[in-house]
Chains A and B, each alone.
Chain A
Amino acid sequence: MATPSLAGLPRWVLVVALLGALLVVLPLAAMVSRVDWANFFSLVSSESSVAALLLSLRTSAVATVLCVLFGVPMALTLARAAFRGQKLLRSLVLLPLVLPPVVGGLALLYTFGRRGLLGGTLDLLGIEIAFSTTAVVLAQTFVAVPFLVLSLEGALRTVGTRYEAVAATLGARPTTVLRRVTLPLVLPSLVSGSILSFARALGEFGATLTFAGSLQGSTRTLPLEIYLQRETDPDAAVALSLVLVIVAVIVVGLAHRSGTAGERRSAEL
């Protein structure tokens, strides 16, 4: 593939872009430079670290599944249906993207907490959500679902409804069309959206702390562990941060790959 020339770009744009890139890369480099490599393995394999890492992976995985389960129908509704208040609904669904996570955590607490909106009902059923692993998953789902909805809705609009119309005239019922045409066509975006949701869930801190607290083994995820370790054992905090950075890099790489695969497919359409 030929590289486009930079001829049309003013030089100062490149300079500012470089400064911006430094702002992102330099802190990461600074952190890596502080890693105590000699003790790296023992630092990240302490009992509390491993517990936090496993809890993080487990809850993020469940949250991602919930994001797909709820996010796909939400994206389909926003992209394909037409109803009053659709714009408003879209803004509300995407609200967690711009909301401070602490505020999200408080909102969840006043919904599912013991004195929350649904607290009484849940109490009667013998279900307690706040400050449990379930709360961690709910908090992560709350902040991560907009990522999936946003990427999937865009893909659905790009693919358009022409294939769906053809499938319908071939005698396929709406559920068959969804299963055999619509979802396969937007699969790359579904995958990249899920990966982004997973990443967002993995990094979730504010809402988790507010809504789920920080109990080792049940609600203390890796970001909470890092924050806690920073006070007592900065070396462990740095080592665990590096683990998160590596996970994040892998996730971004995967999402990017499936994203470009999706673009290639839409270009072929």
Chain B
Amino acid sequence: MTLQLDATVPARGFGMSLTVETGETLAVLGPNGAGKSTLLAVIAGLLRPDSGKSTLDGEVLFEVAPRTRSTFIQPAARGVSLLAQDPLLFPHLSVLENVAFGPRSAGVRRAQARAHARRWLEEVEAPELAHRMPTELSGGQAQRVAVARALASNPSLLLLDEPMAALDVSVAPALRRMLRRVLRDQTVIIVTHDILDAFTLADRVVVLDAGSIVEQGPTHEVLERPRSRFTADLAGLNILSGVRTANGIRTFAGNEITRAAPGIALHTSIVAAVRPSAVRVSLAQPANFHVAALPGIILDVEPHGGLVRVRAEEFAADITPALAAELDLAPGNCVWFAFDATDVTVYPYQPSTIIERGRSAQAKRIP
């Protein structure tokens, strides 16, 4: 009882295989154009892949291979429901009829379909909206109804395409809580830009870039030990990938970080992650022997929460406004980023070696 997918769409540079277990929620992260929407369209049957095979609960969704007869199940027959950023409630039907649409299409009698719809409206905490028309709803209400409508069709797999991206920040938290509750027993793929969605809703995460999977694993594993710049930015971490040298780490960008990553074998490819709040900024190279440091040219300086984020090509630091003013920081300045070795999390660069939690995944903390 799982989704198995293996598909390519060369015209969009898309090619990947993935599996979603029954009852699991998988978050799909990635920059714009990474292939997230293509992935959902292929699974929903709105886009025909050029090759590949997919099964859901043992039923073939599509099977396309050169020189053989291909199978392609129509969207209506897949048991896959898609909820987009835009709720797309049918404007000519009331809220109740919108939610009852799936059961009605499956041949359920009107009264029974409506009773089913009422139950789902209660489930999404919106029973009082039943007799409104979609134009009379706020964005958050409409999205709740859209969730109820998608779930009322009793899908084997629910696809959510940035369901909270179009919502006001004030209503998103309530919707997220509701989603966490109703999605608990569902098999779900959720595309999101929001790391909070990934943490609260997903059991597992895949990160896409340029049409392929670049990182995957349990949510905490991927987001706390990011390997790609995109994931690190999303997780709000600085990452430096490089090779362990005699002095510390030589990053792939060519920087030498001294006094970091002791206890790791020479020539191992590693990633070091540091929170920007643990990074200090100074104009001169720190003299303290116990501190790791690397130089950088400031790209920009901008407010970040109550602090100031100082960003360079490879690294960022959050410092107090007072310090930023004192150092008179401006883009183009050359500064030193310094951090205690104890604030660095070091882990192997090769994702395959850490998929399993435990021995190799254990972060090596520096004394």
Contacts and interface: CB of A to CB of B under 8 A. Distances in A.
Contacts of B105: 167, 170-173, 176, 180
A268 interface: yes
Interface residues of B, number: 29
A168 B75 contact: yes
Interface in B155-213: 159
A269 B80 contact: no
Interface stretch (A62-70, A115-123, A158-166, A216-224): A158-166
B25 to A, nearest CB: 18
Contacts of B92: 184-185, 187
Contact of A166 (B45, B77, B78, B82): B82
Nearest to A173: B76
A100 interface: no
A137 to B, nearest CB: 32
Given A181-B90, A265-B91, A165 B46 contact: yes
A165 B75 contact: yes
Nearest to A172: B105
B88 A171 contact: no
A169 interface: yes
Interface string B82-121: 1010101011110000000110111000000000000000
B88 A166 contact: yes
Contact of B88 (A163, A173, A268): A163
A21 B103 CA distance: 55
A154 interface: no
A172 B76 contact: yes
A180 B45 CA distance: 20
A179 to B, nearest CB: 10
B101 A180 contact: yes
Interface in B22-62: 44-46
B223 to A, nearest CB: 29
A177 B76 CA distance: 10
A169 B106 contact: no
B176 to A, nearest CB: 22
Interface of B: 44-46, 74-82, 84, 86, 88, 90-93, 101-102, 104-106, 135, 149-150, 153, 159
15 contacts: A162-B88, A167-B101, A168-B46, A169-B45, A169-B75, A169-B76, A170-B101, A170-B150, A171-B77, A171-B79, A172-B105, A177-B76, A181-B90, A268-B91, A268-B135
Listed from nearest, the 10 A-B pairs whose CB atoms lie closest are: A172-B105, A168-B75, A170-B102, A169-B82, A184-B92, A170-B153, A171-B105, A168-B76, A166-B88, A171-B153
